[in-house]
Structure 1
Amino acid sequence: MLRFLIRRTSGAALILLLISAFTFFMYFAIPQDPALLACGKNCTPAALDIIHKNLGLDSPVPVQYWNFLVGIFAGRDFGVGHCAAPCFGVSFRNNQMVWDTMMDRLPTTLSLTFGSLIVFLIVGLGAGMMAARFRGTWLDKMFSGGSLVLSSFQIYFLGPIVLGIFVYSTGILDKPKYVPITEDPAAWFMGLLIPWVVMATIFTANYTRMSRSSMIEQLQEEHVRAAKAKGMSSRYVFYRYAWRGSVIPIVTILGMDIGGLLSGGMVTELTFGLAGFGRLARDSVINKDLPVLMGVMIVSAAFIIICNIVVDALYAVIDPRVRLS
């Protein structure tokens, strides 16, 4: 396991380095001085020179990239102040430290991700297991048909409909907003309830179909049929043997989904007006704000890579037949 983690961590570091280099040098291929964004309308050459020095733009591009990498591990000094490690630079737009900006947005994305994750795992896996256990019955047809219909929906379509019905028309629920859970747990829950339900609706359909098909496949395995032939109860065989084997494909897609959600559910955040990682990424592209864009790209990629490493390591825990060599 240790060798596996070391090998995967080394590969992850190389991938992050390539992503950062590609983003950095592609950005400077744009024929526009990034300092102009911070200079404003009444920009003078003297003011532009000061901004170049304050933001570290007065060095050649390769030197800027090297300074950026050093800053992540050792921190950097800018004309606007010291940036402690991990330092992803200073925003070209508002002269704020990028790491502080990302940490301000991260709680919103974390709350949105794990709240919806709990809902769609409980509902989706539960519905899929029930459909597989009672295969061919009306319950199976109801869950399978419902998941097929829901899987055709998209957040940008379902979100406005739910908002129109429950917020603007009836006023049953308040407009979604993020309130820190440490300040008001009830307001935190109610403010994210609609995004959770909408996201869970989309993901539940996929997990219902996947868990159903995976469970049905496992029920046909030789070891499961042998356990039934020995006289074990159907319920015991279902949960003890079939369920464990059906988890692996679910864990695989779950790792990718969690990484994607943590890296920023842009459509969800824009639909419900939430200021998280996804919205920050969108704004950094529109504003051509390289430090923020670099920070979001690297942290988002790190989320996805870490989730994939954890998923691969869980294979050996779930299925003893899997070995990490």
Structure 2
Amino acid sequence: MTMLRFVLVKLGQAAITFVLAAVLIFLGIRALPGDPALMAAGEEATQEQIEAVRAELGLDQPLVVQFFGFLGDVFTLDLGDSYATGASVLSMLTTALPVTIWLTVYSVVIAVVIGVVLGLVAERYRGKWPESFANALALLGLSIPNFWFGILAIVVLAVTFGLFPASGYVEFSENPLRALYYLTLPAIVLGTGLAAVIARQTRASMIETMGTDYVRTARAKGLSRARVLLRYGLRNSLIVLVTIVGLQLGGLISGAVVTERIFALPGIGQMTLDAVFNRDYPVIQAVVLVVTVAYIVINLAVDVLYSVVNPRIRMEGMA
């Protein structure tokens, strides 16, 4: 019953966050410079035609009326039509969003594997050259901007050595292995920063865990350092790992814009850039709303995972 109450409280907090975020999204989009009615009508349209388009799009109504209409459409999944193309925004999202989701999930998997391995190596070989090498890689991953690393990866790995394609996308429904092959290089580029953060935090968590009394007791009973590291150190690093992935996952979704642009992936990044240039309110609102919902859902999932990994967190949250 306590777990159910904990989840209900978190759901209530998520609902309040969503409504507040919707208000900020609605007002923020309308603060952008430019006239969407003019963009929809065309540069050569007369003032009468522009006003007719503005009335058709509902932009002549008070902001309060527009907001509640927007909120009602969101809850009914009626996200409207694009001002620029006339296509359904929902259909545009269902086409572009899976690309971004696959890219983000793949990059997280790569980041977790690389980050945990580097963290384990750095702790296992403290004071030796493998630790220095792992720390140098983590620092490099934190320092290199994604856009520069993406261009460098294309030049070296795609163009020079031909190991990966420089651009393009294959649907998973057509050929899963080929789809992963096309996404590997973008996923590595996108996940590099996260891998570096995971490596440094995993190393710090491992060092702290290995200095505890129960670890020293386990070592005194004859367990090897490697076994203790995997059995106790890695398990106690789960909360740190969940925290990092939870905090960074939403950022990866929104940060995929640059990576998708570099590798010409048809995800929400490309769609967002086109919408910003065209002052396409419905598309921009939908994309920002999707990213916001992703943040809310991810944070909710992290809170629930916290309570599963460490029940004391659930009890403190209910106090």
Normalised by the length of structure 1, the TM-score is 0.88
Give the Cα separation in 2 of the matches to 1:35 and 1:159.
Answer: 37
Pick the structure with more helix per residue.
2
Deviation string 1:147-189 (CA, Å, 9 cap, x unpaired) is 2233221211111111112333444432222211111224312
* CA apart distance, 1:126: 1.5
Q: Does 1:228 align with 2:219?
A: yes
Matched to 1:7, the amino acid is V
Give the Cα separation in 1 of the matches to 2:138 and 2:33.
Answer: 48
Partner SS state of residue 96, structure 1:
coil
Give the Cα separation in 2 of the matches to 1:232 and 1:166.
Answer: 43
Q: Does 1:176 align with 2:178?
A: no
Q: Are the structure 2 counterparts of residues 200 and 28 from structure 1 closer, same or farther at C-alpha, using a change threshold of 3 Å?
A: closer
In the TM superposition, 1:20-59 aligns within 5 A as: 20-29=22-31, 32-59=34-61
CA contact (8 A) 2:6 2:314 kept: no
Identity between Structure 1 and Structure 2 (%): 35
Partner SS state of residue 229, structure 2:
helix
Pairing partner for 1:300 from 291, 307, 311: 291
Aligned counterpart, 1:285? 276
Give the Cα separation in 2 of the matches to 1:237 and 1:26.
Answer: 51
* CA apart distance, 1:53: 4.2
Pairing partner for 1:312 from 282, 290, 303: 303
Asked which structure has the greater RCO (Cα within 8 Å, sep 6+), the reply is 2
Aligned counterpart, 1:82? none
* CA apart distance, 1:12: 1.8
Give the Cα separation in 1 of the matches to 2:160 and 2:129.
Answer: 35
CA contact (8 A) 2:124 2:226 kept: no
Which sections of structure 2, spanning at least 5 residues, go unmatched?
none
Give the Cα separation in 2 of the matches to 1:33 and 1:201.
Answer: 39
Partner SS state of residue 151, structure 1:
helix
Which sections of structure 1, spanning at least 5 residues, go unmatched?
74-84
Matched to 1:25, the amino acid is L
CA contact (8 A) 1:144 1:209 kept: yes
Give the Cα separation in 1 of the matches to 2:181 and 2:88.
Answer: 31
Partner SS state of residue 265, structure 1:
helix
Aligned counterpart, 1:136? 127
In the TM superposition, 1:1-325 aligns within 5 A as: 1-29=3-31, 32-73=34-75, 85-324=76-315, 325=318
Matched to 2:19, the amino acid is L
Deviation string 1:18-57 (CA, Å, 9 cap, x unpaired) is 2222232344345754211111133134533442343233
Normalised by the length of structure 2, the TM-score is 0.89
Matched to 1:12, the amino acid is A
Identify the range of structure 1 (33-42 vs 43-52) with the bigger mean alpha-carbon deviation: 43-52
CA contact (8 A) 2:151 2:262 kept: yes
Provide the alpha-carbon RMSD of the alignment. 2.2
Give the Cα separation in 2 of the matches to 1:232 and 1:174.
Answer: 46
Identify the range of structure 1 (139-148 vs 27-36) with the bigger mean alpha-carbon deviation: 27-36
Give the Cα separation in 2 of the matches to 1:230 and 1:190.
Answer: 46
